[in-house]
C-alpha cells in the first residue's frame, strides 16, 4: 500500500515550517504535526536573530547561506514578521576583545560578508545608550532581526498554499520504522519519510539522540523607541555560548518594531522546567545594566523562559539517521534556528530529492553524532 503522505514533519516551529514550505513547493505531499500551536515551543520563546556566525567554518557556511535566503524572502514577508535589517553590533569591552573584533572583521570580509570595525567613539555614536568606556565593536551590516512566531506562521501558510496539511494539537508518540507515526490516541499516519523537527523535544521520539535542552531567559520592556538601533551583543557572548556545563549569561538586546526591547541572554543545561530562575535572571539583567545602564530605568512587562536544542558540536542535525532512511532529522539548531531554518529547509529538500545542494550538507549529517545500531531509532510503540 502506498503511504498517505510523502513526508510527515513533526514540529511546527520555524525549522519544521521551513522544511514544510520547501518540501511542499517541490511538489511533495506534506503533513505537519505539532502537539501545540504553530511556533508554540522554542520558536515562540526566542529572540529573532538573522545573523552570520563564525564559530566554525560549517556554522559560517550555514548562517551565511541562510541569511541570504532571508534576504531573498524579504519582499514576500508580511509586515507582522517585522523583518528589520538593523545590523548586529558586537561590542568589545577591552583590547583583548578588540583583537577578536579585528580577526572577525577580516574573516567576514574575506568571505563576502560585510563587517566594519568601530572604535570607541564610533560605538558611542552608533549606540549612545551603551556605557562609555567600551573599547569598540564590530558592525555586521546586513544582519537583522525578525519576529519568529509570525515568520514561522508565514512559512506554514506558504506550505499550505502549496497543498501541505497542518494538524496542531496533534501529539506524536512514536515514529514507525516502516515510515509513519503513531499518535497519542493510537491512530497512525503513514509516510515515505518522517522528519523529526521537534527541537529540544526531538529525543522523546528517538531515544539517545544527542540533543539537550539548554534553557534561556528573556525579558521584554515596554515601548521605548530609539533606545537602541542595532541588535547588540557583547563579544563575551561567544564565551557564554561556548561554555559547556556551567550556567552563563551574556548581554544581548534587540529592538522590536514596537520599540519594545528584548533583553537576554542566559544558558543553562539540566534545567528542564519552564519556571523563572531568579538567580540567573538577576545575573542576566545585571550583565545588561553593565553594558547599558539606562535599561535599569525601563519598565519590564514580561519575562519568560525557553529551551534551545543543543548538540555537542554546536551544529544542527540535518538528514537521515544511520540505518533507517525513512527517519530524518531537522533539529539541534540551538540558538541559531531562526537564522538557519531556511537553509535547513533547502538542504533537507535537496537531499531528499537527490538534487545538488548549494553548500555541502556533510557537516550537518546526523551520522557524525549517531552511532549505528546503538542509537539507531527504535519505534517506541506502546502496547
Partner 1 sequence: MPDRVTLFINGKPISVPVGSIVAAAVARSYPSCFHHSVHQETRSPLCGMGACFECCVTINGSPHRRSCLTLCEEGMEVLTGA
Minimum CB distance to partner 1, residue 157 (Å): 22
In the complex, the smallest distance separating the C-beta of residue 220 from partner 1, rounded to whole angstroms, is: 12
Q: Is the peptide bond before 239 cis (omega within 30 degrees of 0)?
A: no
Residues of this chain that bind partner 1 (CB under 8 A)? 222-224, 258, 297-299, 301
Nearest CB to partner 1, comparing residues 246 and 299: 299
Nearer to partner 1, 274 or 301 (CB): 301
For partner 1, the closer CB: 132 or 297: 297
Q: Beta strand 300-310 with 144-145: parallel, antiparallel or unpaired?
A: unpaired
Give every CB contact of residue 167 below 8 A, 6+ residues apart in sequence.
Answer: 31, 32, 33, 34
Torsion of Cα atoms, 205 then 206 then 211 then 215, to 10°: 20
Query: In the chain, what is the straight-line distance between the N-terminal and C-terminal CA atoms, in Å?
Result: 24
In the bound state with partner 1, the residue whose beta carbon lies nearer, of 82 and 105, is 82
**Between residues 94 and 222, which has the closer beta carbon with respect to partner 1?**
222
| Smallest distance, partner 1 to C-beta of residue 78, A | 16
Nearest approach, Cβ of residue 215 and partner 1 (Å): 27
Cell numbers linked to 146: 525578525
Single out the residue of 253, 359, 280, 272 nearest to residue 315, CA to CA.
359
- The C-alpha atoms of residue 230 and residue 121 are separated, in whole angstroms, by 16
Between 204 and 298, CB nearer to partner 1: 298
Buried b (16+ CB within 10 A) or exposed e, 182-196: bbeeeeebbbbbbbb
Grid coordinates in use for 362?
556533510
> Minimal distance in Å, beta carbon 275 to partner 1?
21
Alpha carbon distance 170, 188 (integer Å): 11
We find the least distance from the C-beta atom of residue 180 to partner 1, in angstroms, to be: 43
Amino acid at each position: 500500500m502506498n503511504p498517505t503522505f510523502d513526508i510527515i514533519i513533526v514540529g511546527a516551529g520555524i525549522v519544521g515550517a521551513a522544511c514544510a514550505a520547501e518540501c511542499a513547493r517541490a511538489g511533495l505531499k506534506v503533513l505537519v504535526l505539532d502537539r501545540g500551536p504553530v511556533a508554540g515551543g522554542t520558536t515562540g520563546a526566542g529572540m529573532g536573530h538573522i545573523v552570520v556566525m563564525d564559530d566554525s567554518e560549517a556554522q559560517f557556511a550555514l548562517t551565511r547561506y541562510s541569511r541570504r535566503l532571508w534576504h531573498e524572502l524579504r519582499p514576500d514577508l508580511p509586515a507582522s514578521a517585522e523583518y528589520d535589517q538593523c545590523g548586529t553590533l558586537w561590542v568589545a569591552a577591552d583590547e583583548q576583545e578588540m583583537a577578536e573584533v579585528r580577526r572577525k572583521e577580516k574573516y567576514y570580509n574575506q568571505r563576502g560578508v560585510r563587517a566594519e570595525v568601530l572604535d570607541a567613539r564610533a560605538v558611542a555614536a552608533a549606540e549612545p545608550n551603551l556605557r562609555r568606556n567600551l573599547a569598540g565593536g564590530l558592525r555586521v551590516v546586513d544582519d537583522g532581526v525578525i519576529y519568529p512566531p509570525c515568520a514561522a506562521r508565514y512559512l506554514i501558510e506558504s506550505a499550505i498554499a502549496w497543498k501541505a496539511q497542518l494538524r496542531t494539537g496533534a501529539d506524536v508518540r512514536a515514529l514507525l520504522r516502516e515510515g509513519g507515526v503513531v499518535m497519542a490516541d493510537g491512530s497512525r499516519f503513514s509516510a515515505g519519510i518522517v522528519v523529526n523537527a521537534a527541537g529540544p523535544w526531538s529525543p522523546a521520539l528517538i531515544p539517545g539522540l544527542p540533543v539537550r535542552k539548554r534553557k534561556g531567559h528573556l525579558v521584554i520592556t515596554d515601548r521605548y523607541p530609539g533606545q537602541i538601533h542595532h541588535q547588540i551583543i557583547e563579544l563575551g557572548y561567544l564565551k557564554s555560548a561556548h561554555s559547556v556545563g556551567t550556567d552563563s549569561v551574556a548581554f544581548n538586546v534587540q529592538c522590536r518594531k514596537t520599540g519594545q526591547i528584548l533583553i537576554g541572554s542566559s544558558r543553562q543545561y539540566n534545567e528542564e522546567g519552564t519556571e523563572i530562575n531568579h538567580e540567573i535572571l538577576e545575573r542576566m539583567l545585571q550583565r545588561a545594566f553593565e553594558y547599558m545602564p539606562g535599561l535599569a530605568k525601563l519598565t519590564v512587562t514580561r519575562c519568560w523562559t525557553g529551551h534551545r536544542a543543543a548538540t555537542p558540536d554546536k551544529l544542527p542535525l540535518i538528514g537521515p539517521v544511520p540505518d533507517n532512511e525513512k527517519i530524518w532529522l531537522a533539529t539541534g539548531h540551538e540558538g541559531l534556528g531562526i537564522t538557519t531554518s531556511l537553509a535547513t529547509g533547502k538542504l533537507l529538500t535537496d537531499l531528499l530529492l537527490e538534487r545538488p545542494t548549494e553548500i555541502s550538507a556533510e557537516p550537518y549529517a546526523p551520522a557524525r553524532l549517531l552511532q549505528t545500531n546503538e542509537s539507531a531509532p527504535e519505534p517506541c510503540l506502546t502496547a
